């Protein structure tokens, strides 16, 4: 057999084209062609909280020469999207190559308390595969040192993985400690847009900033956006330093560089939400001698593809269970859609899903009775959010700017991204777009079923089932839960039909699975006194075997003015041994507002709860109730 040169091998395999290998296909050994080429190093440069505000993506207010050069020397992906627009779920998806909703890592930082999330044994983190293949693994490096540890050579860079992991997956925080000739898989974490107050050579003046139309033209927002752009400049400088280091060490030609950010800008409609400001992110890949310089990719790309692509580039088999797929290879097939999800962020309950193709975006809000701007300590601590809230209260916001403060949301949103890139005009009720709406709705339901989306399983029940089945991943793979998503979706849809569906919701309260009962109770509560015929059933459910159902039923009764029966249950669950149940009890008390006044003393005690998220809600609600009492309301 005649051995091919590296160029011939790449040409005949089609690797230089934008091709994709299914996740179950054995990766091509790129270095088996007799070229003698060493395995490539792979370097991930990960920025935080940053959207596509780089020159190579069309940003004109600032210059980003280093990332622009990197893009010019490799491939620029113009349509790359996160699977979740917040840190820990997004990073959990990237490092496993699996949707966070599949592995149960979808609730932001929900593994930091007493309850822990464990992955099934067959799901490994990407560095583990590289270690098995003889790579040196690192996460951190000189440029990743935090402000808290500016002089440390030992501190690992940010991981923020939302599950229990073996700290030994990384050999060190820098690849400099590897053996001579040993290839490395390295990650360098850059704070990016996380820090607004950075010094750069030519800082952006607020007057040069052009804000999106869904934000008011206000000095505070201009100043914040200017500082954000300064952070982009700072990241660009750091990227230049990293690329220079590769040159200085003589490894640039054999190092694949992948530059990405974990989600979009931390702004009102950005981070945490499924508008493009939060989920459309930059992605650049440089592979000297393989990826043609100046390549521009316009296909839809999900960040879970980064893991599979990295394995493929190293000639490591891509495991069957990985949901991401290599972005290069002879079997490449562009995605028709990308899917993204947002669930609980810190103390704030949420469940949103979206499907995006090249033309339209469909968003499904599973908690339409909750405001987009529902209380969240992280976002409410930002001056931009405080300013927006004040302007809203003063009636100084335009309709699109005030939309996030509406007490409710539409169940469905549909945007024509080609004609409405800022996602302003919701076409869900447009007669001309009903076929598109139904098509994308169907795509979402199919995806939720096929990927075993755990987002609709109430968190208190999620914890119980994870203990029963050893991992969250296993829950929807058990025979008894095969149709659980279908049944939950049925109850959710009933709840959106109004009073006419009350009888069927009452019937759903008899389901043997707590998750279905929880949703039925919640939907009955949303109907309030329109569903008062369900009071007796809900009262009986205050003694349900599931703590989550007890809390949901108590909340529903409070909305039907039966807090005399419900408040004692919420007070009891506020002391439950499980932190998630306490959290949901606190959320229920916050939801009922001044009706929670009899719980004031219990809430004061909850300010010292071991679970940070219970503390946040208790502190907030105590302040509100005391102010209400002061006003004599």
Distance of CA 198 to the CA centre of its chain: 26
Lay out the sheet containing 338-342: strands in order across.
Answer: 338-342, 352-356, 360-365, 412-416
d(CA 126, CA 314) in angstroms, rounded, equals 12
**Residues 34-37: contacts with CB under 8 Å, at least 24 apart:** 34/3, 34/4, 35/5, 35/6, 35/9, 37/6, 37/254
Give 176-187 pLDDT, tens digit per residue. 989 999 999 999
* pLDDT at res. 630: 60
Distances (CA, A) of 160 to 361, 376, 460: 28, 19, 22
Least-confidence region, from 62-71, 83-92, 139-148: 139-148
Give 202-245 pLDDT, tens digit per residue. 999 999 999 999 999 999 999 999 999 999 999 999 999 999 99
The pLDDT-based confidence of 166 (bands split at 50, 70, 90) is confident
Question: Which residues in 15-39 are b (16+ Cβ under 10 Å) and which e?
Answer: beebbbbebebebbebbebeeeeeb
Least-confidence region, from 10-14, 476-480, 587-591, 597-601: 10-14
* pLDDT at res. 152: 52
d(CA 425, CA 417) in angstroms, rounded, equals 10
Give 319-366 pLDDT, tens digit per residue. 999 999 999 998 888 999 999 999 999 999 999 999 999 999 999 999
Least-confidence region, from 24-33, 228-237, 424-433: 24-33
- Non-local (6+) Cβ contacts of 509 within 8 A are 517, 520, 521, 524, 534, 537, 538, 541
* pLDDT at res. 142: 58
Handedness of CA 128, 344, 213, 301 (dihedral sign): positive
The closest of 51, 52, 11 to 33, measured between CA atoms, is 11
Q: Is pLDDT larger for residue 198 or for residue 401?
A: 401
Return the bridge partners of 47, or none.
190, 261
In DSSP notation, 524-583 reads: HHHHGGGGGGGHHHHHHGGG-S-HHHHHHHHHHHHHTT-HHHHHHHHHHHTT-SSHHHHH
Q: What is the mean pLDDT of residues 411-420?
A: 98
Give 49-65 pLDDT, tens digit per residue. 999 999 999 999 999 99
Contact between 166 and 345 (Cβ < 8 Å) = no
The pLDDT > 70 percentage for the chain reads 91
The pLDDT > 90 percentage for the chain reads 86
The closest of 338, 286, 334, 292 to 313, measured between CA atoms, is 286
Q: How many residues does the chain have?
A: 633
Q: What is the mean pLDDT of residues 563-588?
A: 97
Contact between 481 and 474 (Cβ < 8 Å) = no
Does residue 32 surpass a pLDDT of 80?
no
What are the chain's domains? 6-65+86-268+276-333 (3.40.720.10), 458-581 (1.25.10.10)
Alpha-carbon radius of gyration of the chain: 25
Q: What is the mean pLDDT of residues 250-267?
A: 97
The pLDDT-based confidence of 629 (bands split at 50, 70, 90) is low
Q: Is pLDDT larger for residue 400 or for residue 4?
A: 400
Does residue 23 surpass a pLDDT of 80?
no
Q: What is the dihedral of CA 478, 480, 483, 485, to 10 degrees?
A: -70
Q: What is the dihedral of CA 451, 359, 363, 216, to 10 degrees?
A: 140
* pLDDT at res. 294: 97
Q: What is the mean pLDDT of residues 261-275?
A: 97
Distance between first and last Cα of the chain: 88
Q: What is the mean pLDDT of residues 604-621?
A: 97
Q: What is the mean pLDDT of residues 587-594?
A: 96
Does residue 18 surpass a pLDDT of 50?
no
d(CA 318, CA 211) in angstroms, rounded, equals 42
Contact between 299 and 332 (Cβ < 8 Å) = no
Does residue 195 surpass a pLDDT of 60?
yes
Q: What is the mean pLDDT of residues 285-314?
A: 97
Contact between 617 and 581 (Cβ < 8 Å) = no
d(CA 453, CA 102) in angstroms, rounded, equals 5
Q: What is the dihedral of CA 127, 283, 45, 63, to 10 degrees?
A: 180
d(CA 570, CA 549) in angstroms, rounded, equals 11
Does residue 546 surpass a pLDDT of 90?
yes
Mean pLDDT of the chain: 91
The pLDDT-based confidence of 37 (bands split at 50, 70, 90) is low
Contact between 119 and 615 (Cβ < 8 Å) = no
3-state secondary structure (DSSP) of residue 621: helix
Least-confidence region, from 108-117, 356-365, 547-556: 108-117
* pLDDT at res. 628: 76
């Amino acid at each position: 057999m005649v051995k091919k040169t590296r160029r011939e091998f790449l040409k005949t395999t089609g690797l230089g084209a934008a091709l994709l290998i299914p996740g179950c296909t054995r990766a091509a050994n790129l270095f088996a062609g007799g070229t003698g080429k060493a395995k490539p190093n792979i370097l991930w440069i990960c920025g935080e909280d940053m959207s596509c505000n780089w020159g190579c993506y069309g940003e004109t207010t600032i210059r980003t020469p280093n990332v622009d050069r990197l893009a010019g020397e490799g491939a620029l992906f113009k349509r790359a999207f996160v699977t979740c627009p917040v840190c820990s779920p997004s990073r959990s998806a990237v490092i496993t190559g699996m949707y966070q909703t599949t592995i149960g890592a979808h609730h932001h930082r929900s593994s930091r308390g007493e309850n822990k999330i464990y992955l099934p044994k067959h799901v490994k983190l990407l560095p583990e595969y590289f270690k098995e293949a003889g790579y040196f693994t690192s996460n951190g490096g000189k440029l990743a040192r935090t402000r808290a540890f500016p002089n440390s050579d030992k501190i690992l860079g940010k991981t923020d993985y939302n599950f229990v992991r073996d700290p030994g997956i990384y050999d060190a925080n820098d690849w400099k400690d590897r053996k001579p000739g040993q290839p490395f898989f390295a990650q360098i974490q850059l704070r990016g847009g996380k820090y607004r107050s950075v010094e750069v050579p030519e800082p952006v003046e607020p007057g040069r900033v052009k804000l999106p139309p869904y934000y008011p033209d206000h000095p505070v927002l201009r100043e914040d956006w200017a500082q954000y752009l300064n952070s982009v400049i700072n990241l660009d400088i750091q990227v230049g330093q990293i690329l220079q280091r590769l040159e200085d060490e003589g490894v640039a030609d054999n190092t694949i560089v992948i530059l990405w950010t974990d989600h979009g800008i931390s702004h009102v409609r950005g981070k945490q939400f499924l508008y493009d400001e939060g989920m459309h992110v930059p992605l650049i890949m440089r592979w000297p001698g393989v990826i043609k310089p100046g390549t521009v990719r316009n296909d839809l790309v999900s960040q879970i593809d980064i893991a599979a692509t990295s394995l493929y580039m190293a000639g490591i088999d891509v495991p069957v269970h990985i949901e991401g797929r290599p972005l290069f290879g002879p079997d490449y097939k562009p995605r028709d859609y990308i899917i993204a999800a947002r669930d609980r962020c810190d103390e704030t309950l949420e469940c949103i899903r979206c499907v995006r193709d090249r033309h339209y975006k469909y968003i499904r809000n599973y908690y339409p009775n909750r405001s987009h701007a529902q209380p969240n300590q992280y976002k409410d601590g930002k001056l931009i959010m405080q300013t927006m809230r004040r302007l809203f209260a003063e009636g100084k916001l335009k309709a699109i700017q005030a939309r996030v403060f509406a007490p409710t949301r539409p169940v469905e949103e549909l945007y024509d991204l080609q004609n409405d890139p800022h996602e302003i005009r919701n076409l869900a009720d447009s007669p001309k777009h009903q076929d598109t709406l139904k098509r994308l709705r169907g795509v979402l339901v199919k995806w939720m079923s096929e990927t075993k989306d755990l987002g609709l399983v109430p968190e208190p029940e999620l914890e119980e089932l994870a203990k029963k089945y050893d991992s969250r991943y296993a829950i929807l793979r058990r025979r008894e839960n095969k149709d659980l998503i279908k049944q939950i979706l049925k109850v959710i849809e009933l709840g959106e039909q109004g009073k006419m569906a009350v009888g069927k919701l009452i019937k759903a309260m008899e389901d043997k699975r707590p998750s279905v009962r929880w949703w039925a109770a919640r939907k009955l509560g949303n109907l309030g006194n329109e569903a008062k015929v369900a009071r007796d059933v809900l009262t009986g459910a205050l003694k349900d075997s599931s703590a989550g159902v007890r809390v949901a039923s108590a909340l529903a009764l409070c909305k039907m003015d039966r807090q005399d029966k419900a408040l004692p249950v919420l007070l009891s669950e506020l002391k439950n041994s499980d932190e998630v149940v306490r959290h949901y009890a606190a959320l229920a008390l916050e939801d009922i507002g001044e009706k929670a006044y009899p719980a004031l003393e219990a809430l004061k005690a909850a300010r010292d709860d071991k679970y940070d998220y219970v503390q946040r809600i208790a502190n907030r609600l105590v302040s509100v109730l005391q102010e209400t009492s002061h006003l004599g309301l």
